[in-house]
């Protein structure tokens, strides 16, 4: 099977249909930071608490009591890492832009340069923002997407973020890339897991160059 076929089969098997809720630019970025190293359910709980108990805008974040921020972000974990990142983002917006609405007036490269200054915001977080907020036709590469790409032989071991993204996007038709992103994540969480991947039930085990590494003789 060609590599294009591998991605297409994952998309068919996972059947991921997800609507992206339209939110403000700052809220989208904060939600993306909160989502780091946690699942969608925990992210939603933390974001909803933040919105209802503090308010999800630059001024409310900067004036918020730290203990209250901790309570709101606890469901998503790593709050001691995420809170400083959110506060730094809010400070940079206030000091350098003056208004969070200015985020939407930047072009993609200006936005990428601005956000890259914030500790903890890397290319994946920026690509998620561009895909969700601006509907850019790209495939953000998280840990699941990266792992699946390497195991399937789409990406090489030494490939960096942008090389993996380019290789994936070359295989996915325009307009299907965000769906491919969600499908690869679902596949990585449910089947091609980091530890003990479920190769025995994988629909790609015959085509996957890594399956022999994980399948025991008993399987």
What is residue 22's predicted lDDT score, i.e. its pLDDT? Answer: 75
Phi, psi (5° rounding) for residue 78?
A: 50, 35
Summarize the confidence of residues 61-85 as an average pLDDT. Answer: 96
Using alpha carbons, select from 94, 103, 10 the residue that is nearest to residue 58: 94
pLDDT of residue 216: 61
The pLDDT of residue 41 is 93
Give residue 201's pLDDT band: very low, low, confident or very high (50, 70, 90): very high
Return d(Cα 126, Cα 108) in angstroms, integer. Answer: 9
What is 3-16+140-209's CATH topology? Endonuclease Iii, domain 2 (1.10.1670)
Whether domain 25-133 has CATH 3.40.50.2300: no
Whether 62 and 87 have beta carbons less than 8 Å apart is answered as: yes
pTM beyond 0.85: the answer is yes
pLDDT at 21 over 80: no
Same CATH topology for 3-16+140-209 and 25-133: the answer is no
Asked whether the beta carbons of 30 and 56 are under 8 A apart, the reply is: yes
What residue spans define the domains of the chain?
A: 3-16+140-209, 25-133
């Amino acid at each position: 099977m060609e590599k294009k076929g591998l991605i297409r089969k994952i998309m068919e098997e996972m059947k991921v249909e997800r609507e992206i809720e339209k939110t403000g630019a700052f809220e989208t970025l904060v939600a993306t930071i909160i989502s780091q190293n946690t699942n969608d359910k925990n992210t939603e709980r933390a974001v909803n608490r933040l919105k209802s108990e503090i308010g999800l805008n630059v001024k409310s974040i900067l004036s918020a009591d730290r203990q209250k921020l901790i309570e709101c972000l606890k469901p998503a974990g790593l709050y001691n890492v995420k809170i400083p990142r959110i506060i730094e983002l809010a400070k940079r917006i206030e000091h350098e832009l003056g208004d969070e609405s200015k985020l939407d007036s930047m072009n993609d490269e200006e936005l990428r340069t601005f956000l890259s200054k914030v500790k903890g915001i890397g290319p994946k977080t920026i690509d998620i923002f561009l895909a969700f907020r601006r509907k850019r036709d790209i495939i953000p590469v998280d840990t699941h997407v990266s792992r699946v790409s390497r195991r399937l032989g789409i990406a090489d071991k030494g490939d960096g973020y942008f090389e993996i993204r380019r290789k994936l996007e070359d295989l996915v038709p325009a307009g299907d890339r965000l769906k491919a992103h969600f499908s690869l994540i679902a596949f990585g969480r449910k089947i091609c897991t980091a530890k003990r991947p479920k190769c025995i039930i994988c629909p790609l085990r015959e085509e996957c160059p890594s399956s022999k590494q994980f399948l025991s003789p008993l399987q």
